[in-house]
């Protein structure tokens, strides 16, 4: 059994390492609030006949900005993340496939079975057509369309998979185990029913209500991957594959609500 030796860190070193794990996702979430703020102050106006694209389609510049800033932060703090050991690749691939399949299955059944809206929407059985669609303002310009798609995949597959797993599993899973001490001495992937409930519930609540069940199931699977593999690398690979497959599904079906 591979057990890491305790490392003595000063309070300042503990805080700096925590900042490296928390700052990227904090900046990512803060940039998500930019659009509602711009809407509140009247900058965003959904009228493409009168206003320029950056005012009626702000997501087309906010998301690229989000990607650039977060990639800079990931590069800046990469050495702090302790991604290794590099193992569990095949297992994480299988779990990623299962996790994202269970997430989109209710919405897919809703569409193929032509179901009506009802209380079951809280279990994911609802329409997913409304969401980020690159063609909404890019029109027939294929070069710009694919540029937007590439940026979107970069955001989902690289940025989101790294910053979320670094925070949820790399930091918070340890922090909950020892909030008053050097939580970095807690081994990665150590199981605790308390950390499982807190982390999986928080992961669920940052998503839309129609995604609560899917997010809880997916979060549970990812927690299991962390516990079984003891590898942040495996969790990132699982998340990256799941988001890649989700993006492919969205492009094929037009269910942009998953984006």
Between 16 and 53, the higher pLDDT residue: 16
Taking only the tens place, the pLDDT of each residue in 114-126 is 889 888 888 999 9
Cβ atoms 189, 84 nearer than 8 A: no
**Nearest in space to 2 (alpha carbons), one of 191, 223, 190:** 190
DSSP letters along 59-124, please?
HHHHHHHHHHHHHHHHHHHGGGS-------HHHHHHHHHHHHHHHHHHHHHHHHTTPPPSGGGGGT
Interacting residues of 18 by C-beta distance below 8 A, sequence separation 6+: 171, 175
pTM of the complete model: 0.89
Size of the chain in residues: 259
What ranges do the domains of the chain cover? 11-258
Taking only the tens place, the pLDDT of each residue in 207-238 is 889 999 999 999 999 999 999 999 999 999 99
**pLDDT of 3 over the 50 cut:** no
**For residues 106 and 95, what is the distance between their CA atoms, to the nearest angstrom?**
18
């Amino acid at each position: 059994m591979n057990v890491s030796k305790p490392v003595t860190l000063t309070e300042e070193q503990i805080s700096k390492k925590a900042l490296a794990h928390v700052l990227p996702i904090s900046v990512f979430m803060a940039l998500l609030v930019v659009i509602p703020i711009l809407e509140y102050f009247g900058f965003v106006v959904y009228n493409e006949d009168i206003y320029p694209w950056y005012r009626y389609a702000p997501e087309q510049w906010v998301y690229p900005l989000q990607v650039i800033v977060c990639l800079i932060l990931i590069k800046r703090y990469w050495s702090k993340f302790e991604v290794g050991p590099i193992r569990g690749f095949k297992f994480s691939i299988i779990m990623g496939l299962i996790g994202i399949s269970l997430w989109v299955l209710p919405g897919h059944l809703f569409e193929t079975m032509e179901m009506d809206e009802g209380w079951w929407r809280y279990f994911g059985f609802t329409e997913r057509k409304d969401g980020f669609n690159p063609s909404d303002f890019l029109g027939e310009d294929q070069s710009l369309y694919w540029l937007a798609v590439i940026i979107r995949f970069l955001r989902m597959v690289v940025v989101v998979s790294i910053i979320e797993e670094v925070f949820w599993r790399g930091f918070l899973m340890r922090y909950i185990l020892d909030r008053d001490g050097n939580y970095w001495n807690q081994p990665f992937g150590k199981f605790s029913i308390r950390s499982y409930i807190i982390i999986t519930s928080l992961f669920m609540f940052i998503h839309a209500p129609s995604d609560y069940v899917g997010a809880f199931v997916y979060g549970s699977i990812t927690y299991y991957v962390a516990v079984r593999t003891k590898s942040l690398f495996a969790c990132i690979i699982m998340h990256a594959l799941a988001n890649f497959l989700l993006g492919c599904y969205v492009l094929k079906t037009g269910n942009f609500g998953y984006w």
